[in-house]
Structure 1
């Protein structure tokens, strides 16, 4: 079968021919119908050799959807021919966090060598993929896998980040989304769908600001110090009760800090790096900084239900598997409008 693999540190991913995998006991094989490209992939492929821990060769794709193709011994509860989405942050299934469906925070995944598809295990950018357990499959029903595969991360991640702040996102509050790209433009829609907050989008790119407005942002401003004054004005001087940073680099962290309200949530969703002061006089009183990771299995069901209701969707650009390296070129160049989806 064909697969897109990262094979050499520092090199571009390659389309190669590899053996079609067979499901072992308890596993499920999918015929892949769609796979999403993500900035997390670009982050992994940017790591120097001493920091890279994901194994080579690595079949990319932690956003996956497919049709159940073959069952391993002992598999129950799923039928061949079912259209499914893949829940990506696999856990052990037995620890306290996993018992609550919070496998993204599994206490033993690292110890047991459990890794998500495309981030340590073979991913979805291939004609077939192996899913370790049927519990990691969520029925798609009549949802189009190509249009919705990115929701397994680009929908689930912002949904999980926003959900913890829902009690604060009341009428009259202001929520700020920094970065209106792949995750941010979905996060804006989720804010509109599940909260009464005034939604403000910030970006350095005018086209992405236009996209933010198209998908529901009440206001869209360039991501600079002038945005701080706008957020203060819109909030009656209070500031943003939730700042969702979908970039996560030092300049966006600093910008978010300047507009955060007393009691506000500063949520670092993007995979960039930076630091923030935490002293008594350094941040608004009762404010918090959170760095959530992906989302819960139950939340993926909820995200897909939002898609079925027609209140969220993903702006996608579709590539064949042969053209998948071009998707990462555009991702690296910042020229994608939304998410890239690879269709084998």
Structure 2
């Protein structure tokens, strides 16, 4: 069990008119839709009128699995959920320049100390002082975007231009996370005759197929147990293989028997990691992105030589700018189901029940997609 240490909580100052928000206020309980005070931007911050907020499986882990003795100390209740957010600049805090009111932005969620080596290169996810930070990200310890308004540091804003901010909201995690995993694996995909495998075709896996198609010349193979998910992946250029008996053999056959050069597991369960390691090529790379807490027993004689097995977590703010470039160029398009803020708890219910295709996005001020 992960012990929750005592870390002082630094809360955003909420004052002024009330607004609606989805609040994680008790362990192992569905969050609440309630009225809270509208935030005011502090120095160096921008208040956003929220365009969209993605509902993520990580949120479900927070309110279903964590308690006083298990989970990051920074994620103790209560706070507003929503770590995939976009919105329009509504108000500027002291010292903020270069932001035009009304412009649309995507929010880079991770929030480190801002001065260590990792944060200096824009990789707040690996902040060297994370253990002493009062929060992990906007929407993860710090009040997030599952509300009518959210206040974020100006450094964490990525301009969207005239691109639709509602559909863009999931890109801050469901786009950035696969992009970082793929970008760090590009050496394994350099050259002709390369192949990549995407395991799990939910919101992240579908975007991963599009990113691989945009960034590489590799043959993209995709596998899932849901036929509609495989059909969407095929429409974006993937060769699909259904789950079930013969799955690994079929994948290897598509590579001429040599195996897959780079595998991306967006499930992370024991069987999917085993599948990844069973089809990877010599000197290939397997990246586990999903957080299903699976395990794999390594054996020298059971794994091809010089295979890398690694994990990943989110990405850098610079990479989020690159994700937005792909989005604005039409090279990646998230599939979203849009919900009103009053229906946000239904979005989480449908996500938890496995009823959603793509990403649920809560649009507090109305959908534009």
For the superposition of Structure 1 and Structure 2, which TM-score range results when normalised by the shorter chain? over 0.9
Alignment of 1:257-272 (within 5 A): 257-272=277-292
Q: Which runs of 5+ in 2 are unaligned?
A: 1-18, 365-369
Match of residue 8, structure 1, among 23, 26, 29: 26
Q: Deviations over 1:179-207 (max 9, x none)?
A: 00110000000011111111111111122
Name 1:111's counterpart in structure 2.
132
Q: Which residue of 2 aligns with 1:81?
A: 102
Aligned counterparts, 1:79-228, within 5 A: 79-131=100-152, 133-169=153-189, 170-217=191-238, 219-228=239-248
CA contact (8 A) 1:66 1:84 kept: yes
SS in 2 for 1:175: strand
> What is the deviation of 1:272?
1.2
Alignment map for 1:49-88 (pairs within 5 Å): 49=67, 50-52=69-71, 53=73, 54-88=75-109
CA distance in 2, matches of 1:84, 1:166: 28
State the TM-score, normalized to the length of structure 2. 0.90
| C-alpha deviation, 1:234, in angstroms | 1.2
- Say which SS state the counterpart of residue 85 (structure 2) adopts: strand
Provide TM-score, normalisation by structure 1: 0.96
Once superposed, what is the RMSD of the aligned Cα atoms? 1.4
The aligned residue for residue 274 of structure 2 is 254
Aligned counterparts of 2:135 and 2:258: Cα–Cα separation in 1 = 44
Q: CA deviation at 1:130?
A: 1.3
Q: Aligned partners of 1:112, 1:71: CA distance in 2, in Å?
A: 24
Q: Which runs of 4+ in 1 moved over 6 A?
A: none
Q: Secondary structure at the match of 1:19?
A: strand
Q: Is the partner of 1:69 in helix, strand or coil?
A: strand
User: Does the 8 A contact of 1:178 with 1:245 survive in 2?
Assistant: yes
Aligned partners of 1:5 and 1:59 also within 8 Å: yes
Aligned-pair distance for 1:214?
A: 2.1
- The answer on whether the counterparts of 1:92 and 1:114 sit within 8 Å (CA) in structure 2 is no
Structure 2 CA distance for aligned equivalents of residues 9 and 95 of structure 1? 32
Match runs of 1:222-241 below 5 Å: 222-241=242-261
Aligned residues: 342
SS of equivalent residue, structure 2 residue 89: strand
